[in-house]
Structure 1
Amino acid sequence: MLRLAGWSVLETGQTFLIGYGPARALDEGFLRGRADVGLFWLAVTGVGVLVGAYGTARVYAAVAALVEPLRDRLVERVVSRGVRTGDAGSLSGLTQQVEIARDTFAGLVMVSRSFVFTAAGALAGLFALAPPLLLVVGPPLAAGMALFAATLRPLARRQETFLLADEALAGHLGTVCPGLRDVTATGAEAHIAAGTGERVEAELRAARALAHWGVLRVASLTIGGQLPVVLLLAAAPWLLAHGVTTGALVGALAYVTQSLLPALRNLIHGLGTSGSRLTVVLRRLARTDTEAPDPDSGPGPAGTATNHTAPPPALSLASVTFAYGPASAPVVQDLDLVLPSGAHLAVVGPSGTGKSTLTALVAGLLTPSRGAIRVGGHPVPGPQAAAERVLIPQEAYVFGGTLAENLAYLRPDPVPEEELLAAAEAVGLTPLAGRLGGLGARVDPAALSAGERQLVALTRAYLSYAPLALLDEATCHLDPETEERAERAFAARPGGTLVVVAHRISSARRAGRVLVMDGRSTAYGSHEELMRSSALYRDLVGSWAPAPARRGSEPALALRDAYRVDAVAGPRLAGDGRHVVAHRPVGQVQAPGDLRDGGSLGREG
């Protein structure tokens, strides 16, 4: 700081001479017919400019010595945080945020230092030329600075609000645009459009507020830097009558136009824009360094407690409540849930109790009325949470293209054929791929059965990088053997977490934990625990028991269906030609032996 101040004194000398030298050249030289004296003072001014330029060069070195230690400390904090907790934002902090902080801080030091020493040199020069000049230049300069200082904090807040709104909109669009096909397939157009519209309106409001305060910034520059020029010209007769010489008046105009106005402009634009940017970045870097992964306050229903060194849970819900209208009864009420990474959860319950609503809330397609949802420690909705989960709905989406294109749709990078084949084998798609003619075969979605489309969608989700898989009755058109194979494949993914909205009791038996939903009330535990503690779960299980020797009919879970439909599901049923599957509110008539993939004949029963 002392070196910086010392070298800045040379710039102060340059500022002093830029008005004082020409004034003396006029008053003592050219106006008196002494050209040699005038040229001498101009030469002195030129030497002062050269000396000031040398001082400016040395100032940059002093600023570097001040700024680089700040950068080093920020880098040390970001790296320490990344190594200690595996923070995913460390790379962004090193490559962008630290560099932004360093460059912006250096710019702020330069403009602030320049204004302070320039103003000091100019005011000293005005006093040396003629003290009355200070009466004309000083008050508007002080008023402009006071107005700018009063607007600095509100302007910085609005600048930060605008930056955050812009980042939120960009992140939202970055998530939505690549998934437009999925949005259409799941019927979420209205929800996505409403969420996008809210972010656009938020950025518009932030931009308008920033523009309103920006007007005051322009006003402070006008008052402090441009009004003195007008006042000097208007007060010229009065100044000349009170002993101010012509050269002193010209020198005063040089001080204002060549020194004070540029320095004030740089200060206002630098602090008004770069200052708020530096504030945003430093807050984020400080938050990255001090915040631990988001721990839940105590153990949740899964009995899992987190601490400052543990990774965040794969899924956490805190007092989540949701209703489909202001006057509607909540479908989900005060639900708390914590799932660690690698967990396997089955969600069961009668129809209409909120099972699919729960998956939509976790996926960000619905917004809870109250409470918070986090996926991988990231808030829902949000681009980071969206990247951590994949949703497979009941009605699977397949588009016209090759089978390989369908399977690799959720991967941003090319997927090797070996990986596609391995995923198809794990999920159970290999026989279908063979019938279609291989991975390069063209797919006609209309020619595939509902079960075949589900197998394609399941393999696509299996190949995605998202660690949390949400299966919203995504296997309801599959036979029990294929369903079991697919669920076990998802449960075995390294680091993967599986949430299954189950329609067969065997899905609940395979899961490590089961969530029973019955409107506002829920029960949570293992299969054995719920058999002892939950009457509803015992009712759902009914009298079913596994029979390895003979695979017979397996009741679906929705035995308390609101439509009073008796559920029958399973392959190769003979005899009666009218069977009903319980995966829809209204059962569909199906031909014998056609229950493996749930293909409908189109008649309702």
Structure 2
Amino acid sequence: MPGEEKSPTPLAARSARAGRPARPHPAHTVSRRGLRFLLARRHVLVRLALWSVLETGQTFLVGYGLARALDAGFLVGRRGVGLGWLAVAGVGVVVGALGTGRVYRGVADLVEPLRDRLVERVVVRGVREGNGGALSGLTQQVELARDTFAGLVMVSRSFLFTAVGALAGLFSLDPLLLLVVAPPLLAGVSLFAATLRPLARRQETFLLADEALADGLGTVCPGLRDITAAGAEEPVAAGTGRLVDTELRAARALARWGVLRVAALAIGGQVPIVLLLATAPWLLGHGVTPGGLVGALAYVTQSLLPALQNLVHGLGTSGSRLTVVLRRLTPAPATPTPPPTTPVPRLPPPPDTPRTPALSLTSVTFAYGTATDPVLRDLTLALPQGAHLAVVGPSGIGKSTLTALAAGLLRPAHGTIRVYGRPVPETLARRVLIPQEAYVVSGTLAENLGQLRPDPVPEAELLAAARAVGLDHLVETLGGPDAPVDPAALSAGERQLIALTRAYLSYAPLALLDEATCHLDAAAEERAERAFAARERPGGALVVVAHRISSARRAGRVLVMDGRETALGTHEDVLRRSPLYRDLVGSWSSEPALALGDADRVDAVAGSGLAGDGRHVVAHGPVGQVQAPGDLRDGGPLGGQG
């Protein structure tokens, strides 16, 4: 934006007030480094210029030889003379090809030292700083810089010497020809030169925006299911939308400046042809020979226009790309930044009234298809604010379906679902769902834990949440909140603890835990559930799909799902009224402890500190029945219907 270019940045203003020079713009830094690099290799530049003179001669002879072949040969009946001049032009082409071959060697002498210097910088940065992007810089960015720089040298050199040869040829044929061709050519080159810096900036902005969008989509797309499950659709969609809008604005700005590039090419390369044809009678009437006119057209169409096209496209596109790559490979020293201020928490609006249920279902019926039996049939439930509900029942009975409906992932065929008095589609900010399969991204631990917050989480609050949920040991093991996280190196229990802490830090008052602790041992599960139950959120409530008797006993209310029959009450009430619940409690309690000694007789193979994912026993099935962890249970839609 123009205003941004005129006004100094806050850092520059502070530096000026402090009497220190402001840090130069990265583009100026790259330009100065490039100038020093070229001056240190003046002998190579001189050698390139000398060999390029042969190309100048080739360009001169192509038009001049053709003009002389017509005027002194074919047009006056002297075929031998005409063929002789054409032969001279052919020799010029051969000599020019020899010069071009030598030029390539000179370009190699100029480019390879640049590549060596960039490789040295990349290796030093990778070794000294432990930079993980060093391999990418070595294998891709350095080679891109090398090839782009070589192309720019060839294009710039070719245009310079081709233009000199063509203009000299036009002058030798007749100064009037130079008067017709030179002004539009100079106007086109001047227009392109004036737009070169703004165009390069827009090109660079577009490249950076495109890369940012690609990186963002590469992170979002693999986790769409979990983003939806965790209730993060709005912030993720907003962030992705900002990236798309940024690239769109950059593309439009680049297109507007690209029009000027096309205009410069038309003025400098196409207008001279039109002028030569339009002024042909006048030129011929003022002493220009027919051969001279044809030679002038040859100069423009065969030499100037192709050279100008290469210059415009080469400098207009490759130049900005080279600038971007060089900035990344030779970064300026980091500028110290002031410590971030602690953001003010922005909680969702409080519930309408304390009497409004945290979660209410009224005559809800849901089936996974029109031809299948309903998983839930005419279910009515009201969960008050501050309540802790455990949902139990056989596999496939609809426990995960219930949490998916409450979270808005599914929509009922009949009935209504409300969260704090509002329809589910309007309550994304008031609920958070933690599925069985935890989603962890590559990045820092703090970035993983703060994904459901609109602003960065203060470190003190983050550490307090980790202690409450039980993630503090992993935080210490990894090296703190700013430590990088490799999802593949974490156990299933560790990933679940990260997902639980992320949900704990969210502002949503209603937490839905769909077997979100199945890979934790009993003690870790109890710690996490008690943390959510004690979470300070206005009108907060907790729904847990339980797979241990201890989890059901901790809850103030237990919902037993048994097809068309349901039972809701305290643990003791439901134990008296529900034969199914008595059977589940008996299967949880009566069998001997398994290998890991779980007090609840459930094999919690993947505890929070174990490296392997392992398998877990289905609490409501026969002892020894095992099931590999899957998404929301048994592999149906949304991972199953349970």
- Determine the structure 2 residue equivalent to 1:281: 325
Indicate yes or no: 2:227 matched with 1:243.
no
Q: What does 1:52-71 align with in structure 2 at a 5 Å threshold?
A: 52-71=96-115
Shift of 1:101: 1.0
- Relative distance call for 1:116 and 1:321 in structure 2 (3 A) is farther
Shift of 1:554: 8.4
Pick the aligned partner of 1:89 from 106, 116, 133: 133
Distance 1:50 1:206 in 2: 45
Q: Give 1:247's aligned amino acid.
A: G
Do 2:223 and 2:439's aligned partners in 1 also have CA atoms closer than 8 Å? no
- Determine the structure 1 residue equivalent to 2:630: none
- Determine the structure 1 residue equivalent to 2:234: 190
- Determine the structure 1 residue equivalent to 2:391: none
Shift of 1:457: 6.0
- Relative distance call for 1:563 and 1:48 in structure 2 (3 A) is closer
Distance 1:192 1:485 in 2: 25
Q: Secondary structure, in 3 states, of the residue corresponding to 1:60? A: helix
Could you list the runs of 4 or more consecutive aligned residues of structure 1 that deviate by over 3 angstroms after TM superposition?
Answer: 294-298, 321-325, 443-451, 456-462, 464-467, 469-473, 483-499, 553-565, 570-574, 576-581, 592-597
- Relative distance call for 1:490 and 1:559 in structure 2 (3 A) is closer
Shift of 1:573: 11
- Determine the structure 1 residue equivalent to 2:474: 490
Distance 1:112 1:86 in 2: 38
Q: What does 1:152-551 align with in structure 2 at a 5 Å threshold?
A: 152-287=196-331, 290-291=332-333, 318-323=341-346, 446=398, 460=438, 468=445, 470=449, 487=471, 490-491=474-475, 493-495=477-479, 497=481
- Determine the structure 1 residue equivalent to 2:372: none
Cα deviation, 1:245-302, whole Å, max 9, x if unaligned, reads: 1111111111111000100011011111111111111122222xx445x97757xxxx
Do 1:490 and 1:498's aligned partners in 2 also have CA atoms closer than 8 Å? no
Cα deviation, 1:17-40, whole Å, max 9, x if unaligned, reads: 000001111111112221111111
Do 1:25 and 1:38's aligned partners in 2 also have CA atoms closer than 8 Å? yes
Distance 2:550 2:289 in 1: 111
Distance 2:166 2:123 in 1: 45
Distance 2:554 2:437 in 1: 33
Shift of 1:241: 1.9
User: Superposition RMSD on alpha carbons, in Å?
Assistant: 4.7
- Relative distance call for 1:590 and 1:94 in structure 2 (3 A) is farther
Scaled by the length of structure 1, the TM-score of the pair is: 0.57
Pick the aligned partner of 2:164 from 105, 110, 120: 120
Indicate yes or no: 2:179 matched with 1:135.
yes
Q: Secondary structure, in 3 states, of the residue corresponding to 2:221? A: helix
Indicate yes or no: 2:573 matched with 1:590.
no
Distance 2:232 2:530 in 1: 33
Do 1:577 and 1:590's aligned partners in 2 also have CA atoms closer than 8 Å? no
- Relative distance call for 1:563 and 1:187 in structure 2 (3 A) is closer
Q: Give 1:170's aligned amino acid.
A: A
Distance 1:165 1:121 in 2: 41
Q: Give 2:211's aligned amino acid.
A: E
Indicate yes or no: 2:92 matched with 1:18.
no
Cα deviation, 1:31-83, whole Å, max 9, x if unaligned, reads: 22211111111111111101111111111111111011111111111111110
Cα deviation, 1:63-113, whole Å, max 9, x if unaligned, reads: 111011111111111111110111122122112211111111111111100
- Determine the structure 2 residue equivalent to 1:33: 77
Cα deviation, 1:112-160, whole Å, max 9, x if unaligned, reads: 0000000000011111111111110111101111111111111111111
Indicate yes or no: 2:35 matched with 1:51.
no
Distance 1:196 1:134 in 2: 55
Distance 1:555 1:41 in 2: 94
Distance 1:573 1:170 in 2: 43
Do 1:144 and 1:223's aligned partners in 2 also have CA atoms closer than 8 Å? yes
Q: Gaps (5+ residues) in structure 1?
A: 299-316, 330-350, 352-435, 437-442, 474-482, 500-513, 520-550, 582-587, 600-605
Do 2:188 and 2:267's aligned partners in 1 also have CA atoms closer than 8 Å? yes
Q: Secondary structure, in 3 states, of the residue corresponding to 2:72? A: helix
Distance 2:207 2:442 in 1: 29
Q: Give 1:244's aligned amino acid.
A: V
Q: Secondary structure, in 3 states, of the residue corresponding to 1:244? A: coil
Scaled by the length of structure 2, the TM-score of the pair is: 0.54
Q: Gaps (5+ residues) in structure 2?
A: 1-44, 355-393, 404-431, 453-466, 484-500, 507-526, 542-547, 559-567, 576-580, 586-599, 603-618, 620-642
Distance 2:555 2:249 in 1: 59
Distance 2:308 2:275 in 1: 17
Q: Give 1:591's aligned amino acid.
A: H
Do 2:192 and 2:261's aligned partners in 1 also have CA atoms closer than 8 Å? yes
Q: Give 2:66's aligned amino acid.
A: P
Shift of 1:561: 7.1
Indicate yes or no: 2:28 matched with 1:5.
no
- Relative distance call for 1:133 and 1:296 in structure 2 (3 A) is closer
Shift of 1:471: 9.9
Indicate yes or no: 2:183 matched with 1:145.
no
Distance 1:104 1:164 in 2: 17
Cα deviation, 1:544-593, whole Å, max 9, x if unaligned, reads: xxxxxxx9x9898849775599xxxx98799x999479xxxxxx953149
- Relative distance call for 1:319 and 1:285 in structure 2 (3 A) is farther
Distance 1:450 1:496 in 2: 37
Distance 2:126 2:171 in 1: 56
- Relative distance call for 1:495 and 1:240 in structure 2 (3 A) is same
Do 1:152 and 1:272's aligned partners in 2 also have CA atoms closer than 8 Å? yes
Do 1:458 and 1:486's aligned partners in 2 also have CA atoms closer than 8 Å? no
Cα deviation, 1:379-400, whole Å, max 9, x if unaligned, reads: xxxxxxxxxxxxxxxxxxxxxx
- Relative distance call for 1:445 and 1:164 in structure 2 (3 A) is farther
Do 1:470 and 1:498's aligned partners in 2 also have CA atoms closer than 8 Å? no
- Relative distance call for 1:471 and 1:265 in structure 2 (3 A) is closer
Shift of 1:193: 2.2
Q: Give 1:85's aligned amino acid.
A: E
Distance 2:300 2:116 in 1: 39
Q: Secondary structure, in 3 states, of the residue corresponding to 2:571? A: coil
Shift of 1:206: 1.5
Q: Secondary structure, in 3 states, of the residue corresponding to 2:73? A: helix
Distance 2:531 2:269 in 1: 83
- Determine the structure 1 residue equivalent to 2:27: none
Distance 2:475 2:262 in 1: 61
Shift of 1:243: 1.6
- Relative distance call for 1:166 and 1:251 in structure 2 (3 A) is same
- Relative distance call for 1:47 and 1:179 in structure 2 (3 A) is same
- Relative distance call for 1:318 and 1:257 in structure 2 (3 A) is same
Do 2:60 and 2:165's aligned partners in 1 also have CA atoms closer than 8 Å? yes
Do 1:141 and 1:228's aligned partners in 2 also have CA atoms closer than 8 Å? yes
Q: Secondary structure, in 3 states, of the residue corresponding to 1:320? A: coil
- Relative distance call for 1:518 and 1:259 in structure 2 (3 A) is closer
- Determine the structure 2 residue equivalent to 1:510: none
% identical aligned pairs: 61
